[in-house]
């Protein structure tokens, strides 16, 4: 059942993004920022962890989870090292996702051709 919930949640988030793209002048960059901030807000109030428990991996693969991770790592850094730990731990915790994205994008550009 978790697989179905995961599929539906991910599809619902993609549906919302597509509706916003089709009916507004926002770009994909705007949506990425909006969903990251939304993930952070949901993490602050503790809702996103509950969504992950219910939905499973489908909630971990979306851009909303990046905001959730940034917020959680920043909070853990604050608890461990104070105010400066916010920045240190936030960047350390999210560096894997950022590095993987850059490497995968570089590999994809080798095998694809950009449209003019």
Structure confidence by residue, pLDDT tens digits, 90-114: 888 778 878 888 899 899 988 887 7
- pLDDT of residue 89 exceeding 70: yes
pLDDT score for 93: 77
pLDDT of 37 over the 90 cut: yes
Q: What is the chain's mean pLDDT, rounded?
A: 89
Full-model pTM: 0.79
Contact 40, 68 (CB under 8 A): yes
> Does the pLDDT of residue 116 top 70, yes or no?
no
Contacts of 35 (CB under 8 A, 6+ apart): 13, 17, 62, 63, 64, 67
């Amino acid at each position: 059942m978790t697989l179905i919930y995961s599929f539906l949640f991910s599809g619902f988030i993609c549906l919302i993004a597509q509706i916003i793209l089709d009916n507004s002048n926002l770009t994909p960059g705007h949506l990425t920022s909006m969903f990251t901030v939304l993930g952070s807000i949901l993490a602050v109030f503790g809702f996103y962890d509950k969504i992950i428990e219910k939905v499973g991996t489908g909630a971990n693969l979306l851009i909303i989870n990046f905001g959730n991770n940034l917020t959680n790592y920043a909070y853990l850094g604050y608890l461990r090292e104070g105010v400066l730990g916010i920045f240190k731990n936030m960047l350390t915790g999210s560096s894997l996702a950022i590095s993987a994205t850059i490497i995968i994008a570089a590999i994809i550009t080798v095998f694809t051709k950009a449209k003019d």
